[in-house]
Amino acid sequence: MILRVASAIVVGHRSVTAPLEKINRLDFGHPPATIEFWKQRVRESLALTPSPLYVFAGGPVAERLAELEAELVAAGFRTATANLKSPLGFRHWLSFKTQPLRPLLNWWRAQGRPIEVVSEFELRAALAEGFAPENILVNGPAKHHWLSAFELPGLVVNFDSAVEAEVLLPPAQKQNWCLGVRILTSQEFDPENPSSPTQFGLEPDAAVLVLKKLLAAEVRVETVHFHLRTNVSAVHIFEQAIAEVAGVCRAAQFSPLHLDVGGGVPVRHVRSRGSKVYDGEFGLRSFARMLRQSVKAMPSLQEVWLENGRFITAGSGALVVKILDVKERRGLRQLICDGGRTLHAITSVWEQHALLPLENRTGPEVLTVVHGPTCMAFDQLARIPLPRSLSPDDHLIWLDAGAYHLPWETQFSHGHAAICWQDEAGLRLVRPHQPFADWWGQWQ
């Protein structure tokens, strides 16, 4: 049923009015088979541990990889096993920060795939899980303050600044690191202040100077890198960025072997708080064809590297919360749940996800706000029509919780949630609820 009335939707710290008909599709286009998959995984997980909990699975990651790889091969890229004459291959790097989940790292490594890290802790974790240095790509700013302490011959490192390049050049020479330079293109900007650049990478003129210095030092510099932002809305934005990167290479007289295209492919089945469909104007086929055409400007390339964390992992997770209490006042129904935005889903500040009752609840719908348990009005997971028949002890499933939910999980008066993981070996509890002794025992 579609209710044709208006509701206030929070966008940052202001409110806009949007018709409920724009947000009433609670499944947000997920196929029925996907919904049933997650409901079954949730039922099985709740048999192992109570809510709140996250449920993650390797299958959806494999599906997204297969879909993207099929389009890349169709566009003329080769895989390690493809019988193509094309000299240009591609490689996926797992964006650790997007989903820092230990079982995922092991699942990914078992397939022989490499990982991208942006902090000392991430690097240490990747090493602890058995990734070889040549299969670890180190990105991120200000790493010259910690990376030189490691002895990792063959490590892959993209320099983010001229200072990084200067400080890290000696260990790079000594340990034969595979080096790259991150370039700030005109297409990269601060999402909160679109007229301003982000804090990452080198401006083109500075990148030319750094590349020339690295070439003069005769180190193993092989990569140019750019990263736009999350949920890039159109393929032509990547095209423009690649053209700018190619111009930097020409100016530096640099023939790169790898083009590292960081992030940006928009996530499926997620909308902005203003009901914009993130991937509405973006097609994987167009993206793959654009890549194959655009990289002709860098004929020395051997591989295109991809770090599509959100696109790859968003659909691989779900957040499960239980209704604890129900309040109705001023024409609004409020569900108080054992999990929510403040603890588990900060992305709900700017995103709407499919939110589904686990139990079969039908009947008339009413405008409902789903709250978490913390003592903050900010703790609102969603503001949508839901069946009035929902009651305490029912469960709600927030889909597409596989990207940037775990790294932004908080302990606001509560411990961390439990986590279940499913792969070829089956479903298992991989992290229990954090006990009080651990939550409070962190203090010396």
Interval 23-51: pLDDT, tens: 345 688 899 999 999 999 999 999 999 99
Q: Global pTM? A: 0.91
Return the CA Rg of the chain: 23
Which pLDDT does position 80 carry in this prediction?
59
Q: Region 78-83: what's the mean pLDDT?
A: 66
Angle at which helix 120-128 crosses helix 102-110, to 10 degrees, equals 60
d(CA 58, CA 423): 5
Residue 84's pLDDT band, with cuts at 50, 70 and 90, is low
Interval 178-209: pLDDT, tens: 999 999 999 999 888 989 999 999 999 999 99
pLDDT at 375 over 80: yes
What are the backbone angles phi and psi of residue 229, rounded to the nearest 5°? 180, -175
d(CA 400, CA 355): 10
Residue 229's pLDDT band, with cuts at 50, 70 and 90, is confident
Q: For the chain, how long is the longest CA-to-CA vector?
A: 72
Q: How many CB atoms lie within 10 A of CB 199?
A: 11
Lowest mean pLDDT segment, chosen from 237-246, 277-286, 407-416: 277-286
What are the backbone angles phi and psi of residue 234, rounded to the nearest 5°? -150, 150
CB proximity list for 54: less than 8 A, separation 6 or greater: 317, 318, 319, 320, 344, 401, 405, 406, 417, 418, 419, 420
Which pLDDT does position 104 carry in this prediction?
98
Mean pLDDT of the chain: 92
d(CA 177, CA 147): 12
Interval 309-330: pLDDT, tens: 999 999 999 999 999 999 999 9
Q: How many CB atoms lie within 10 A of CB 239?
A: 16
Which pLDDT does position 18 carry in this prediction?
38
d(CA 329, CA 331): 5
Residue type, 115: I
Q: Per the structure block, which two tokens stand in for 374?
A: 């913390």
d(CA 107, CA 83): 26
Residue 82's pLDDT band, with cuts at 50, 70 and 90, is low
Q: Region 401-425: what's the mean pLDDT?
A: 97
Q: Going from the N-terminus, what domains does the chain have, and what CATH number goes with each?
A: 6-56+315-440 (2.40.37.10), 61-314 (3.20.20.10)
